[in-house]
Amino acid sequence: MFDPLWEKKTPVLSPGTVIQGKWKHQTYRIVRLLGQGANGSVYLVWRDQVQAALKIGPDTTALALEYTHLENLAKDPSSTRKLGPAALELDDMTFQGVSWSVLVMEYIDGIPVDQFIQAKGTHWVPVCLLKIARMMELLHAKGYSFCDLKPANILFDAQTAQARFVDFGGITRHTQAVKEFTEAYDRAWWGRGSRKADMYYDVFALGMLGVQFVAPISRKTIEYLSTKTPIERDFWLDEHLRTHRQADMVVPILMKMTVRTPSMNSEAVIADMTDLLEKRGNLLVEKEITLSTKKTWRRFDVTDWWLLASVLTFVSILFILLWIGRS
Partner 1 sequence: MSSETVLRQILLVTDGCSNVGSDPIRAAKTGLSRGISTSVIGIIDDGSLGEQGKREAYEIAEAGGGMCRIISVADLSMTMQMVTRQTMQLTLQQVVNEELRNLIGKPTDELAPDVRIKVAAMVDTMAEESDLHMALVIDVSASMAPKMASVREAVRDMEFGLKARSGRCHLHVFTYPSAYSLSADEHVMEDRSGSIADMLMHIRPAGNTPTGPALLAAIDRLLPSFNDRGKEDARKHMRDYVV
- Report yes or no: 209 and 185 within 8 Å, Cβ to Cβ: yes
The residues in 138-197 that bind partner 1, with binding defined as CB under 8 A, are: 175-183, 188-189, 194-196
Beta bridge partners, 105, equal 53, 87
Does 41 bind partner 1 (CB under 8 A)? Our answer is no
CB of 65 to partner 1, least distance (A): 5
Is residue 256 close enough to count as binding partner 1 by CB under 8 A?
A: no
CA pair distance 156, 162, nearest whole angstrom: 6
Collect all residues with Cβ–Cβ distance below 8 Å to 254 and sequence separation of at least 6: 207, 210, 211, 214, 241
CA distances in angstroms from 134 to 27, 123, 326, 327, listed in the order given = 36, 19, 70, 72
The yes or no reply on residue 228 touching partner 1 (CB under 8 A) is yes
Query: β-strand 98-106 against 50-57: which pairing, if any?
Result: antiparallel
Least distance CB 264 / partner 1 (angstroms): 21
Partners of 37 in the beta sheet? 40
Choosing from 80, 227, 303, 327, the residue that interacts with partner 1 (CB under 8 A) is 227
Task: By CB under 8 A, name the one of 70, 91, 110, 162 that touches partner 1.
Answer: 91
202 is catalytic: no
Cα separation, 153 vs 180, whole angstroms? 12
Residue 67 makes contact with partner 1 by CB under 8 A: yes
Which of 100, 116 has the CB closer to partner 1? 100
Using CB under 8 A as the binding criterion, the count of chain residues that bind partner 1 stands at: 42
Do 147 and 169 contact (CB within 8 A), yes or no?
Answer: no
- Positions that interact with partner 1 (CB under 8 A): 1-7, 23, 38, 59-62, 64-65, 67-68, 89-92, 99, 175-183, 188-189, 194-196, 223, 226-230
Catalytic residue numbers, as ranges:
148
